[in-house]
Structure 1
Amino acid sequence: MSILHVENLNVYYGAIHAVKGISFDVEEGEVVTLIGANGAGKSTTLNTVAGLLKPREGVVEFEGKSLLGIAPHTIVGKGIALCPEGRRVFLQMSVRENLEMGAFTRTDSSEIAASLEDVFKRFPRLKERENQVAGTLSGGEQQMLAMGRALMSKPRLLMLDEPSMGLAPILVQEIFDIIEQLHSAGTTVLLVEQNARMALKVADRAYVLETGRVSMSGKASELASDERVKQAYLGG
């Protein structure tokens, strides 16, 4: 059974029909990527799964249970974490305080401490800057902090929205290396990414979104060598 099942999802912003009946599944332990141009509906889809937007119609099920009408913090408690576009870290708070915020739905203090150690192991740079104010970090470090904060909720499904946006190529590689490590450790990842080449490299399966609809789907490796995908998203 899919860990995440989305069917006939329709989402509007006022009169604008942003997501037009898309359906997709994410199996446990895989990396699935949604690729497409700006405005294709990728971020809208993640925000709807996270409970931040309400769909007009459709099915969103996590482990067989509907997420519709459930508050975002409750969805986090069920095991879904969203690392949002634009990082959205708490700029006035320290690195450590930001990470602790990620565990706000948990009550197991010894396990929270273990998760913190785990994040510091995964992101040594955050450990070095543990007491630094998040607003003073570089863009790449803020992205690592946003990912670490999402991991602090111990998600069964980690949703990453444009993790490489605005980063220098060397940092993009670092972020994707981390995604591959998380995948190897058994974390299920739903990835939205403008950098289609990198996304298709780390993903098991991919869905191509065009103006709110799924236009293609399949194994990431097959889509990466598809001429239409190459022309549209991989620079020919």
Structure 2
Amino acid sequence: MLELKDLNVFYGAIHALKGVSLTVGDGELVSLIGANGAGKTTTLHTISGLLHASSGSVTLDGADLQKVAPNTVINLGLAHVPEGRHVFARMSVEENLLMGAYILRDQKKIAANLDMVYQHFPRLRERRRQMAGTLSGGEQQMLATGRALMTDPKIVLMDEPSMGLSPLLVKEIFAIIQELHKSGITILLVEQNAKMALAVSDRAYVLETGTISMEGPAAELAADDRVRRAYLGA
């Protein structure tokens, strides 16, 4: 479904991504883990078209995403849940969700998607008239994820969904990610909480200073001594 081949990205003279290659298959949950500054968010921004690679390719079902404007990449089935949530604070929960469906024209489909999101996130249904800016951090993460699902995406990019949340809310958010995965949604997850990410993923990649240093089944990486020492506190 999603394929990155030999991706090189620069910030001025800084070589941020150095020949990054990875794949995400249909229905997979794949994690990209690494320390701060490793290039995880840069990878997602390049996939979404917010950054342009100097070389290499990004394709989604064969479509070259580097040739698609960032504001139209969503039409190809890619949704991005950004780091920091970025909900529309002065709009209600339901208005935020409907903004996610702006590319759809079928009102019945929009209503069905809204009902699907409320089934995944019953708390959003309870707060559908509440201003998004008054939600807790965990609820805003649910809202940002639900907004992405409103687009009927082929794949969802999730950037640091646990950031700034209490340990209890982190468990809740990851339980939701597992539920979405089990429902068949394809996910590329960028997450600094490597232990939680590896626990829910099918496969994973380790990114170190812009280079993929390890890859494989998530369970195998979680048991690898190098990963345990570097990212799991072992």
TM-score by length of 2: 0.98
Q: SS of 2:147's equivalent?
A: helix
Separation of aligned partners in 2, 1:131 and 1:154: 23
Q: SS of 1:52's equivalent?
A: coil
Separation of aligned partners in 1, 2:8 and 2:149: 29
Q: Percent identity?
A: 61
Separation of aligned partners in 2, 1:171 and 1:99: 21
Structure 2 unaligned runs (5+)?
none
In the TM superposition, what are the counterparts of 1:1-236 in structure 2 within 5 Å? Answer: 3-236=1-234
Instruction: Give the letter for the 1:41 counterpart.
Output: G
Q: SS of 2:89's equivalent?
A: coil
Separation of aligned partners in 1, 2:154 and 2:103: 14
- Number of positions where the alignment pairs a residue of Structure 1 with one of Structure 2: 234
C-alpha offsets along residues 50-83 of structure 1, whole Å, 9 cap, x if unaligned? 1111111111010012111211232111101000
Task: Measure how far apart 1:123 and its partner are.
Answer: 0.7
Moved over 6 A (4+): none
Task: Measure how far apart 1:158 and its partner are.
Answer: 0.7
Instruction: Give the letter for the 1:33 counterpart.
Output: S
Separation of aligned partners in 1, 2:105 and 2:71: 14
Instruction: Give the letter for the 2:226 counterpart.
Output: R
C-alpha offsets along residues 115-147 of structure 1, whole Å, 9 cap, x if unaligned? 001111111111111011111111111000000
Structure 1 unaligned runs (5+)?
none
Q: SS of 2:67's equivalent?
A: coil
Q: For the Cα contact (< 8 Å) 1:8–1:20, is it kept in 2?
A: yes
Q: CA RMSD in A?
A: 0.7
